[in-house]
Amino acid sequence: MVVVEVAEPGPPEGFRLARRPLPEPAAGEVLLKVSAAGVNRADVMQRQGKYPPPPGASDILGLEVSGTVVMVGEGVRTLALDEHVCALLTGGGYAEYCVVPAVQCLPCPVGVSLIDAAALPEAYCTVWTNVFERGGLKKGETFLVHGGSSGIGTVAIQLAKLSGAKVFATAGTKEKCDACLSLGADRAINYKNEDFVEVVQAVTHGRGVDLILDMVGAAYLQRNLDSLAVEGRLVVIALMGGAEGSINLAKLMARRLTLSGSTLRPRSIEQKALIVQALSESVWPRLSKGDLRPVIHDRYPLSDAAEAHRVMESSSHIGKLLLVP
């Protein structure tokens, strides 16, 4: 099979196409013929040599794919040959074929093309576990997501709005802010010319928001806490603005704030299976009804993985970037 390898850690030019043996599914796994693979920030970090794969994971990039089941491992009873699925991976997606635990697969939703379904697993699993399970977002609450036009952000806006929350989102251009509004955000904040703390305090009449989903990290840490309501929650899922910051603990204590963070990739198969099952029951029917939709910025041939990564690093995209073998 053809795969994309990182010949040398660093810029996207370090990618190369190579041939590797077809992998075989172990017990509990399936082999997928890949229709498309999602491109994520974690892929960029791994390509740069800053995010090594967990022990036992493939060195090939790619944390989500869509495709067709072409081989079933021992003990798999939930999937059959020729089924169309999308799947959450620990690695291996930038290839013509990949293996994945069957419990990390989801059916391709009705009305979503097999290629576009590759945009779903990573973003939906991330948003579900961090906004609803960890963050505890409830109907009637207020929610702020940073990077509202990103793959994660476009999902977070839609799911939060569907849950009955009031949604605010930050983005860096008018076009991106307009995209956030079109997805259901009640207010889009252009962080290039607006202070999100001031806007949040103004639109909530000084109360603040109940939950923030943050991908910036240290650079926004205290400002995020200043944007929260009493009993508010901040969930950090990425560190684009740095990993180390300082906060005023007195403010955190006085307003009974909760600060937490999580990553998805290192979790066990059993933990990922629980997230996938929750999505299957609570979210996938809404995708099939058309209440939610994947937002795709562009699709690239597997051979153009370098260009897809350049676009990702430029932050010029709205929604997901896909690689199509």
* pLDDT score at 90: 97
Cα distances (angstroms) measured from residue 53 to each of 72, 180, 208, 308: 25, 32, 38, 20
Closest CA to 123 of 290, 248, 238, 208: 238
Average confidence (pLDDT) per 10 residues, the chain, 325 residues: 96 97 97 98 96 93 98 97 98 98 98 98 98 98 98 98 98 98 98 98 98 97 97 97 94 96 95 98 97 98 98 97 98
Angstrom distance (rounded) from CA 87 to CA 208: 36
**Helix H or strand E encompassing 201:** helix 196-203
How many Å apart are CA 31 and CA 52, to the nearest integer?
24
Domains of the chain plus CATH, in order, are: 2-120+265-324 (3.90.180.10), 124-261 (3.40.50.720)
At residue 179, the pLDDT reads 98
CA-CA distances (angstroms) from residue 154 to 4, 188, 206, 292?
27, 12, 26, 10
Question: 3-class SS at 297?
Answer: strand
CB 232 within 8 A of CB 208: yes
Whether the Cβ atoms of residue 323 and residue 39 lie closer than 8 Å to each other: yes
User: How far is residue 190's CA from residue 169's CA, in Å, rounded to a whole number?
Assistant: 9
pTM of structure? 0.96
pLDDT of 233 reads 98
